[in-house]
Amino acid sequence: MTQPQQATTGPDATSGPVAAASAVVELALTACQAYGRPDLGSRLSVARRRLAEPGIHLVVAGEFKKGKSSLVNALVGAPACPVDDDIATAVPTYVRYGTQAGANLVLDGEPPRREPISVSEARKHVVEQRAADRSPSGGAAVAGVEILLPRTMLAGGLVVVDTPGLGGLASAHAAATLAAISMADAVLFVTDASQELTRSELDFLTRARELCPIVTCALTKTDFYPSWRTIRDLDTDHLRRLGVEISVLPVSSTLRSRAVQHNDKDLNAESGFKDLVRFVTDTVAGRGRTQVAVEAANEVRAVCQQLTDQFAAERSALVDPARAQQVVDDLTATKRRTDELKSAAARWNQTLADGIGDLSADIEHDLRARIRQVITEADELIEAADPADTWSEIEPWLESRVSHDLIANYTVLRDRSADLSHLVAEHFRAASGEVLGTFAVYNPVSLLARSRVETTISLEKMTARKQTMVALKGSYSGILMFTMLPSLLGVTGLAPIAIPVGLLMGRNSLREEKRRQLTARQAQAKNAVRRYCDEIQFVMGKDSRDTLRRIQRQLRDHYAARAEELGASLGQAMQSASEAVKRTNAERDKRLRDVDAELARLRRLAQAAAEVGG
């Protein structure tokens, strides 16, 4: 969600899947250099950077005053997030690793800017401020606060995100939190032992579970509520009845903090934090790191394949010089097909262009239909009661209603563009599969070749989804959803409409005059709603078009680069094959031995990469 701040060195630097992945990536990088393939090398460099900074986000969400901040503090063992009886957290706090304690202000912008502040200053930016205390905002809006802590738990790239309270599922905050959750690696939902889960909490959990694969529920304040066991059982039942597999972990932040302070083992056990810490370090951070490692290792495998193909072609020419010319001819034909793959006329490229065009129209239509529905509902509300009384409620209702529709619209965009990138991947694979298939003919180890094509399929599928997510995460709607909504709503927000309320006395025409004033107010309110929706539609329409264009560019560049790599591999193969023809028998034998050795080395590397992450 946020940009990596600095390199981290954690326990995984020496062991674990990340270390294993780093090792194979380094080896593959050396190989790329040795074989003169900087194009493949740059692909690996990206994987190396991501390994160094995995950025695994755990979003802590829940209703107001359920003890989210206290829980985060107890978890990291430091007062990272301010806790107060009354005032609640107002902006998200990102608690991440730093070699020494520090704090940054994250300011709204694209990309978000950082401004170092002192740790003591951080508090006043995090908590909600009374209108009177709010400093005149000269600069950009505060999008979040980053707290850096030298904690082992965070060293593996874990980022714990403390969020503002939801205020019911229908609120704009809930919409923003759901958006953040769709980008997060895991969610820790916080509820307390004062009462069983409410309907809106359960609705939120269900939605969160759809958006994020790892969701767990923490039941806080078990030191204070005698019947926390009953509540825990009730909550577990509710979740089971909903059919969502979410475990409930009872914890006490107070006991944990005290246990850490007094180094009291019994108290720590009683706090229930052991399970929570295990969840965070093993399930969230561990699984997250493994996933990053596997992704990096897959890149290595893809690179190994291309290099292997290249050597395999040369080998065929070396083994049977009589057929060498045919090999070269076939390779040339394949190369031509690969070049077509790069061109704009390639099927995948057309699929992409057409798909984005359709998608753009659909998304816009979807948004328009939604906004129209909102206006109808708003009109009904305004008709139903006097806006002078209800306006203060219609305003937040409208904002949250619109933000939920924006999220829904954005979810459509996300899912549809993921589908599209699958299709593009499919078409690309079909075309490049033929290219790879050509290699297989000449490959002495045909079994290996077949399995290779299969891995390519799954690899491409995996990267397709990742590509879309990367494009979305980089886009305005994705990364800044947390701040985008409020600021978007704030900028174009409803102009305060002056609703005159006359104090009427006396019996004459009391009822008629009231009715006349009411009609005037209702017309005014309806107009305001329309202006607001117009503005939203305009801004969001532009934003989603931009996002789609960005996705198109990103996918096009991605597959063009893959085609480029394939072309380079083929070029190299052709060159080595034609050289093979010119060699003497002795040279050929020597080269054959070298090539076999290289192939064996690449096989070992691919094997090592395949073993990363079990």
Partner 1 sequence: MTSLLDRTRATFVRAAAVYRGTPYARMLDETAARLDEPLRVAIAGRVKSGKSTLLNALVGERLAPTDAGECTRIVTWYLDGHTYQVMLHPRQGPPMPARFSREADALEVDLGGLSPQDVSELMITWPSRALRTATLIDTPGIGSLSERVSQRAWDLLASDDEETPADAVLYLMRHLHVGDVEFLRAFHDTEVSRPNPINAIGVLSRADEIGVGRADTMRSAHTIAERLAGDEVVRRVVQTVVPVAGLLAETAMTLTEDEVGQLRRIAGRSAAEVEGLLLSVDRFVNSMPELGLTSLERERLLARFGVFGIRQCSMLLRRTVAGTASELARELAAISGLDDLRSVLRSLFYERRDVLKSRSALLALDSILRSQPRQGSQAVAAEVEEIISSAHPFNELRVLSAIRSGGIQGKSEVIAELEHLIGGAGTSAALRLRLAPDAAAAEITEAAAAALLRWQRRAENPLTRHELSTAARVAIRSCEGILAAGHARR
Q: Which residues bind to partner 1, rule: CB under 8 A?
A: 64-65, 85-86, 167-168, 170-171, 194-200, 202, 221-228, 230-231, 234, 238, 252, 254-255, 258, 267, 270, 385-386, 388-390, 392-393, 396, 400, 501-507, 510-511
Q: Are 467 and 560 in contact (CB under 8 A)?
A: no
The burial class, CB within 10 Å (0-12 / 13-18 / 19+), for 361 is: exposed
In angstroms, what is the minimal distance from the CB of 221 to partner 1? 6
- Smaller CB separation from partner 1, 64 or 538: 64
Could you tell me the CA-to-CA distances from 50 to 296, 474, 550, 551 in Å, in that order? 8, 15, 21, 20
What minimum distance in Å lies between the beta carbon of 83 and partner 1? 10
Structural contact between residues 189 and 178, judged by C-beta atoms closer than 8 angstroms: no
Whichever of 138 and 502 has its CB closer to partner 1, that residue is: 502
CA distances, 557 to each of 471, 476, 561 (Å) = 12, 20, 6
Nearest to 25 by CA among 7, 51, 6: 51
Question: In terms of CB distance, is 11 or 396 closer to partner 1?
Answer: 396
Least gap, CB of 277 to partner 1 (angstroms): 19
Beta partners for residue 96, in sequence order? 148
Residue closer to partner 1 by CB (options 254, 572) is 254
Cβ-based nearer residue to partner 1, 198 or 578: 198
Q: Concatenated DSSP letters for 72-89?
A: HHHHHTS--S---SS--B
Nearest distance from C-beta of residue 235 to partner 1, angstroms: 10
> Closer CB to partner 1, residue 207 or residue 465?
207
Is the CB of 374 or the CB of 548 nearer to partner 1?
Answer: 374
Classify 612 as helix, strand or coil.
Answer: coil
**Min CB(222)–partner 1 separation in Å:** 7
Task: Give 231 or 294: the residue with its C-beta nearer to partner 1.
Answer: 231
Shortest reach from residue 87's CB to partner 1, in Å: 9
Q: Tell the smallest beta-carbon distance from residue 62 to partner 1 (Å).
A: 12
Pair of tokens at residue 604 = 């070992």
For residue 118, the minimal CB distance to partner 1 (Å) is 27
Beta carbon of residue 386, minimum distance to partner 1 (angstroms, whole number) = 7
Angle between helices 446-474 and 172-183 (to 10 degrees): 150
User: What is the number of residues in the chain?
Assistant: 614
Sign of CA dihedral 463, 469, 470, 472: positive
Q: Which lies closer to partner 1 via its Cβ, residue 354 or residue 389? A: 389
With H, G, I as helix, E, B as strand and everything else as coil, classify residue 56: strand
Least distance CB 127 / partner 1 (angstroms): 14
Which of 199, 582 has the CB closer to partner 1? Answer: 199
CB of residue 487 vs partner 1: minimum separation in angstroms?
21
DSSP 127-163: B---TTTPPP--SPPEEEEEEEE--HHHHTTEEEEE-
Q: Strand, coil or helix: what is 495? A: coil
Give least dist CB 227 to partner 1, A: 4
Radius of gyration of the chain (CA): 29
Please choose, from the candidates 91, 56, 123, 52, the residue with its C-alpha nearest in 3D space to the C-alpha of residue 480.
91
Shorter beta-carbon distance to partner 1: residue 390 or 456: 390
Cα–Cα distance for residue pair 257/263, rounded to 1 Å: 10
Pairing of strands 158-162, 93-97: antiparallel
Residue with Cβ nearer partner 1 (223 or 460) = 223
**Residue 105 Ramachandran class (φ > 0 left, ψ -120 to 50 alpha, else beta):** beta
Residue (222 or 554) nearer to partner 1, CB: 222
Name the β-bridge partners of 159: 57
Cβ count near 573 (within 10 Å): 27
Smallest separation (angstroms) from partner 1 to the CB of 503:
4
DSSP code per residue over 246-291: --EEE--HHHHHHHHHHT-HHHHHHHTHHHHHHIIIIIIIIHHHHH
